[in-house]
Amino acid sequence: MRSGGNARLALCDRDGTIMVDRGYLASPDGVELLPGAAEGLRHLARLGLVPVVVTNQSAVGRGWLDGAGLEAIHERFRQLLAEAGTAVAGIYVCPHRPEDGCACRKPLPELAERAACDFEADLSRSFVIGDKASDVELARRVGATAILVRTGCGAEVEAGGEAQPDYVADDLAAAARLVERLLAPGGAEFPLP
């Protein structure tokens, strides 16, 4: 599914990409932005991309966290981003367990497609940035450019060859600088690192 719009999305994973991955986070007290995350989001927005979060949160489906608890976490997340002078345009969540067979758990494309619809974006002109193989696979499934960050699980994913991203960056700030080079005239020829 492709939206008819021309907007470009930066579909960013949450845990391990923008904020510290604490496993099954159940309290807003554990929300902590990763170094470079706010800078990266600001840079992506300056480049004209719409930064959104796409995240699997199976703690909800497992009964370890309810909707109100998840919203409290995201409220703290938004507050920390605002204090750092940035924001995300939307947060798209799969609350299901892997065994539930939903259509929204990454790497399935439903969350990306919803975001593309909401922002009239073209997924084939967009970027998926994350630290897991499922983020890279999501990019493949929607025709976006896949950037693996080495934060969170990313360094292990890269070393293990679990995913074949288009590009690898140290963190979200480095990913944003990479996107800037890719969007520059002649940037399509920018080589893999």
> pLDDT 10s digit of each residue in the chain, 193 long?
444 578 999 999 999 999 999 988 889 999 999 999 999 999 999 999 999 999 999 889 898 889 899 999 999 999 999 999 999 999 999 999 999 999 999 999 999 999 999 999 999 999 999 999 999 999 999 999 999 999 999 999 999 998 999 999 999 999 999 999 999 887 665 554 4
Query: Counting beta carbons within 10 angstroms of the beta carbon of residue 48, is it exposed (0 to 12), middle (13 to 18) or buried (19 or more)?
Result: exposed
pLDDT of residue 5: 78
pLDDT of residue 59: 85
Give the amino acid at 131: D
Alpha-carbon span 38 to 8, nearest angstrom: 19
Look up residue 35 and give its two tokens.
């170094």
13 is catalytic: yes
**Distances in whole angstroms, Cα of residue 5 to Cα of each of 9, 14, 122, 126:** 11, 25, 6, 12
Look up residue 177 and give its two tokens.
């600088």
pLDDT of residue 162: 84
Instruction: Please name the residue ranges forming H helices in 21-171.
Output: 37-46, 58-61, 67-83, 110-118, 133-142, 154-160
pLDDT of residue 2: 44
15 is catalytic: yes
The CATH architecture that domain 9-183 belongs to is 3-Layer(aba) Sandwich (3.40)
